[in-house]
Amino acid sequence: MKTTRRLFAALTLGALLVGQAMAQGKVTIYSAAPQDLLDHVVPAFEKSSKLKVELIKGGSGDLINRLKAEKGRQGADVLFSVSTEVIEANAALFSKYTPENVKYLADIFKVNDAAVPFTAVANSFGINTKQLTPAQYPKTWLDLANPMYKGKISAARPDKSGSAFIQLGVILQIYGEEKGWDLYAKILDNTVLSNSSGAVSKFVNDGEAAIGLSNEDTLLKFKAGGGPVEIVYPADGTSALADSMALSATPGNPEGGKAFINYMLSREAQEILDGVGRRTVRSDVISKNALTPLNKIKVIKYDDDWAGANRARILAKWNDLLLNKK
């Protein structure tokens, strides 16, 4: 009996020491988040956890492709700041993990299989106020099809950017696929494409584009900094969706990855996110930033499940449109 107890104690201690060792050292995070956001949350996590973060940045499409190439090998511990449907559409690349701090999530947010929400962000139009007068601002997705905006719109590629894919999905869900694809094709004809939505916001601020289809937080950064940027939420509807994170299926440091995910739902991290213009997902954190309250925006009920299930088909159709772009 004593031998059994000693063996059990030794195994328990061994498991504890392994867990502690895994939570020490380095956490590898693949992220599509804007640099400004990372500059705030990564050092705060490192200070809180005593872990060092190795950061690999890219668009969500490029990061998914990298994870696919590494499948079965230890690479990323966490994929951070991509849309929920990107994670759902590539479920085999991730492990289901429900962090302790999930109990503080507001009711409208949920852990969706492996995808854990850490902030919410709305799609919007960024306007360069030196190039367009308020009377010339597009107010709806329909307005963006106007030939007067030919070559004046900047947007990211939906095969490279999760937020750009959501923009396309919003149009299809508002107007239905037949009318939605027709509308999107006309918008695409007016658009100059880039690989990331973060770049789109900078193009608007720098005067390289009169209109940019981007996330509200990156546009707010330039507006708050005194740039000639106005934020318009389309009157025919937009999305306000969770930006998510997920534990890799083959993490090199699973305990460290879990620590990062749980930290991002902590009060400290959520207050940092609010300070850089992101919407909090915790019910007990009151926003102090300058974003327009969601109750003053027409927010549609975006269907993540539909978007994830149809992602490959939608991107194939988008590629066909791109080949025929005028």
Instruction: Report whether pLDDT(93) > 50.
Output: yes
Q: Are residues 147 and 89 in the same domain?
A: no
Identify the pLDDT of residue 305.
85
173 Cα distance to chain centroid:
19
Do 164 and 158 meet the contact criterion of CB atoms below 8 Å apart?
A: yes
Q: Are residues 225 and 210 in the same domain?
A: yes
Do 265 and 97 meet the contact criterion of CB atoms below 8 Å apart?
A: no
Q: Are residues 182 and 53 in the same domain?
A: no
Query: For the domain that residue 220 is a member of, what is the CATH number?
Result: 3.40.190.10
Q: How many domains does the chain have?
A: 2
Measured distance CA(259)–CA(27) in Å, rounded: 9
Measured distance CA(187)–CA(189) in Å, rounded: 5
Identify the pLDDT of residue 174.
98
Average pLDDT, stretch 91-105? 95
Buried b / exposed e along 219-254 (16+ C-beta atoms within 10 A): bbbbbeeebbbbbbbbeebbbbbbbbbbbbbbbbbb
Identify the pLDDT of residue 8.
42
- Note the pLDDT tens digit of each residue in 113-149: 899 999 998 999 999 999 999 999 999 999 999 999 9
Single-letter residue type at 126 = G
- Residue 73 buriedness (CB in 10 A; 0-12 / 13-18 / 19+): exposed
Measured distance CA(194)–CA(186) in Å, rounded: 17
- Note the pLDDT tens digit of each residue in 242-292: 899 999 999 999 999 999 999 999 999 999 999 988 999 998 998 898 999
Instruction: Report whether pLDDT(31) > 90.
Output: yes
Average pLDDT, stretch 175-182? 97
- Note the pLDDT tens digit of each residue in 195-250: 888 899 999 999 999 999 999 989 999 999 999 999 999 999 999 888 999 999 99
Q: Which of 23-27, 94-98, 268-272 has the lowest mean pLDDT?
A: 23-27
Q: Is residue 184 part of a domain?
A: yes
- Note the pLDDT tens digit of each residue in 240-253: 888 999 999 999 99
Q: Is residue 3 part of a domain?
A: no
Q: Are residues 28 and 173 in the same domain?
A: no
Q: Are residues 70 and 125 in the same domain?
A: no
Q: Is residue 8 part of a domain?
A: no
Q: Is residue 2 part of a domain?
A: no
Identify the pLDDT of residue 113.
81
Query: pTM of the entire structure?
Result: 0.76
Single-letter residue type at 266 = S
Residue 211 domain boundaries: 121-240+296-323
Q: Are residues 37 and 106 in the same domain?
A: yes
Structure tokens of 42?
């990564």
Q: Are residues 97 and 163 in the same domain?
A: no
Q: Are residues 156 and 138 in the same domain?
A: yes
Q: Are residues 141 and 23 in the same domain?
A: no
